[in-house]
């Protein structure tokens, strides 16, 4: 029975516990809504993105950016703040910036640097952080962008941005001791180049956001050179120059 409920929940994103209960009754199976809701929470988590939201993200991906702010602790236990902005369609990390004073004005300036004149998305998704309040939204609208705040209690509504933050943590920042804001900024600048130009992405069919053209003839292993990135934490692999 549990497997059947999970199957219905995953195949029908808009179905809730009552709808699944009714479908089970059609099959001659009586299951309480409390039991169904418990299984749904296990399968979908506390928040279930609606089919309409998923459709919006897919259909408008070319015109969607999203942003968020997260914290990094230095070796002296000082709290620094990082703002990331990512373009959904090609997963390009448009901007990464760090500061010890994350004011709304600072967030606006980071957004302006990510979207120079004539290069901006149609929509910008952000959460309900106080830094992304009315003043931030007015500045974004002035740039010709429509801001969209995620619903309260819906952490997965900005999942693509959360995913890139997780990547930066797991693959870069968790393996480094950050000394100060300057060191963090330098690290993030290198991480952004590596993320956009060298790191393959599953969502892009193992392409990079900036793309690459594989050689017509694969180089023999002895002719492949490794280039250290981020102090040797990662490496890029390229054919040896002729």
CATH code, 198: 3.30.420.10
What are the strands, taking DSSP E only, across the chain?
64-73, 79-87, 92-99, 123-126, 146-149, 224-229, 234-239
| Per-residue pLDDT band at 234 (split at 50, 70, 90) | confident
Confirm whether 142 is domain-assigned. yes
Q: Is the pLDDT of residue 1 over 70?
A: yes
25 and 98 both lie in a single domain: no
Q: What angle do CA 42, 46, 47 make, to 5 degrees?
A: 120
CA distance 146 to 115: 13
pLDDT digit string (tens) for 30-40? Answer: 888 888 888 88
Confirm whether 50 is domain-assigned. no
68 and 186 both lie in a single domain: yes
pTM of the predicted structure, to 2 decimals: 0.75
pLDDT of residue 85: 97
Confirm whether 34 is domain-assigned. yes
pLDDT digit string (tens) for 168-222? Answer: 999 999 999 999 999 999 999 999 999 999 888 877 788 888 887 777 777 777 7
Tokens at 87, concatenated: 């373009």
pLDDT of residue 153: 65
pLDDT of residue 14: 65
Q: Which residue did the predictor score with more confidence, 124 or 22?
A: 124
25 and 77 both lie in a single domain: no
36 and 64 both lie in a single domain: no
Q: How far is CA 84 from the centre of its chain?
A: 9
**64, 88 contact by CB (below 8 A):** yes
Confirm whether 169 is domain-assigned. yes
78 and 136 both lie in a single domain: yes
Mean pLDDT of 44-59: 67
89 and 162 both lie in a single domain: yes
65 and 121 both lie in a single domain: yes
29 and 75 both lie in a single domain: no
83 and 144 both lie in a single domain: yes
Confirm whether 238 is domain-assigned. no
Confirm whether 220 is domain-assigned. no
Q: Is the pLDDT of residue 224 over 60?
A: yes
Average pLDDT of every residue of the chain: 86
| Per-residue pLDDT band at 164 (split at 50, 70, 90) | very high
Q: How many domains does the chain have?
A: 2
Q: Is the pLDDT of residue 155 over 70?
A: no
| Per-residue pLDDT band at 128 (split at 50, 70, 90) | confident
Of the listed ranges 47-51, 76-80, 154-158, 192-196, the least confidently predicted one is: 47-51
Host domain of residue 30: 2-45
pLDDT digit string (tens) for 66-98? Answer: 999 999 999 999 999 999 999 999 999 999 999
37 and 79 both lie in a single domain: no
Any idea which residue has 């290069």 for tokens?
Answer: 119
Confirm whether 194 is domain-assigned. yes
Mean pLDDT of 92-107: 94
């Amino acid at each position: 029975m549990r497997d059947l409920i999970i199957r219905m929940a995953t195949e029908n994103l808009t179905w809730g516990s009552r709808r699944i209960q009714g479908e089970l009754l059609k099959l001659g199976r009586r299951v309480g809504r409390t039991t169904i809701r418990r299984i749904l929470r296990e399968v979908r988590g506390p928040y279930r993105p609606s089919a309409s939201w998923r459709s919006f993200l897919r259909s408008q991906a070319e015109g969607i950016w999203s942003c968020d702010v997260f914290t990094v602790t230095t070796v002296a236990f000082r709290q620094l703040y990082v703002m990331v902005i990512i373009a959904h369609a090609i997963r390009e990390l448009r901007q990464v910036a760090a500061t010890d004073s994350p004011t709304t004005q600072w967030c606006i300036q980071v957004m302006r640097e990510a979207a120079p004149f004539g290069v901006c998305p149609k929509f910008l998704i952000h959460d309900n952080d106080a830094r992304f309040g009315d003043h931030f939204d007015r500045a974004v609208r002035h740039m010709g962008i429509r801001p969209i705040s995620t619903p309260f209690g819906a952490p997965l509504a900005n999942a693509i941005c959360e995913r890139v933050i997780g990547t930066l943590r797991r693959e870069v920042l968790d393996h480094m001791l950050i000394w100060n804001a300057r060191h963090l900024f330098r690290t993030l600048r290198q991480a952004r180049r590596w993320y956009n130009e060298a790191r393959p992405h599953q969502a892009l069919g193992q392409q990079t956001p900036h793309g690459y053209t594989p050689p017509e003839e694969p180089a023999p292993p002895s002719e492949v050179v490794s280039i250290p990135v981020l102090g040797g934490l990662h490496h890029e692999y390229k054919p040896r120059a002729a």
